[in-house]
Structure 1
């Protein structure tokens, strides 16, 4: 991430922009014959307001403080859980997604969690393969906690399992001295 970008907590006045980011980030799924994912609605203002109000939403901004990416996090199985991370494609490949994951990891550490989890598409290049490069590993189905299992079951109910999906985790790094 270069110095023209910074991470800050998301604010209520960011919500419209977060929806725009989500729509823009979804477009790439069309090229993979995943139009249903590309057409999925972004989180509602009510949902985003809950994350923002609870301090579980971050944005990465450009030099004008305009969000170009965001991340929302949950608590699942005594772990920090990345519920959604999206970066506007016009700002892709700048390390912004990794920086947002770093913000979630910092939050998780502050919450006393030792693990950060997420669920994602196994074969989408900017999903599981990307997260593996960031130190996440696939969690075998037999090792899923009750909460993460419920997340996966809900995703299946939504039809997301039309494409291979996995749960992933990585340890939360100790704070730097």
Structure 2
């Protein structure tokens, strides 16, 4: 399975992957997260155009990651692995690809915001080397966390995390 930069033709599959992956939230009492609308194809396309989206191709996308730059770090906005391909290390490979992208740009770390107690969220990312950000977050990450609260997400359920870039340039 190849991890590659997403292409315009991949955009039409990303929403379905995110919906399928999100269905697992129903099993942990977060049906609202499973039912949350996915981004529009235009949003996915913007990530693709800007070179901030990668897919796992088997053939065709079965998983993807979207990245922003937040407070000077590579911020993992979304990782979704279709359940038919879960448990194969694809998420780790996507995160490692983001790590190389960040290293190529001289960014010091990867960040993300995730659910604290969902097994495939914070505990999973901790196994990948992410640690909870306990100091006050930078202004952009703080804004993202406030936006989540305005969306109705209980801040006690969320955790911002950071991992130093490990790839070499």
Structure 2-normalised TM-score? Answer: 0.96
Aligned partners of 1:59, 1:174: CA distance in 2, in Å?
19
Q: Which runs of 5+ in 2 are unaligned?
A: none
Spell out, residue by residue over 1:10-67, the C-alpha distance to the aligned partner (whole angstroms, 9 max, x if none): 11111121111001001111111111100011111111111100000000011xx211
Structure 1 residue 162 displacement after superposition: 6.6
**Aligned ranges 1:4-15 → 2 under 5 Å:** 5-15=1-11
Q: Which runs of 5+ in 1 are unaligned?
A: none
When structure 1 is superposed on structure 2, of 40-49 and 153-162 the one drifting more is 153-162
> Would you say how many aligned residue pairs link Structure 1 and Structure 2?
169
Aligned to 2:115: 121
Aligned partners of 1:136, 1:9: CA distance in 2, in Å?
23
Matched, 1:47 2:16: no
**Aligned ranges 1:71-86 → 2 under 5 Å:** 71-86=65-80
Give the SS at the match of 1:167. Answer: strand
What RMSD over aligned residues (CA atoms) do the two structures have, in Å? 1.2
Matched, 1:66 2:60: yes
Regions of 4+ moved over 3 Å: none
Is 1:138–1:168's contact at 8 Å kept on the other side of the alignment?
Answer: yes
**Aligned ranges 1:18-29 → 2 under 5 Å:** 18-29=14-25
Structure 1-normalised TM-score? Answer: 0.92
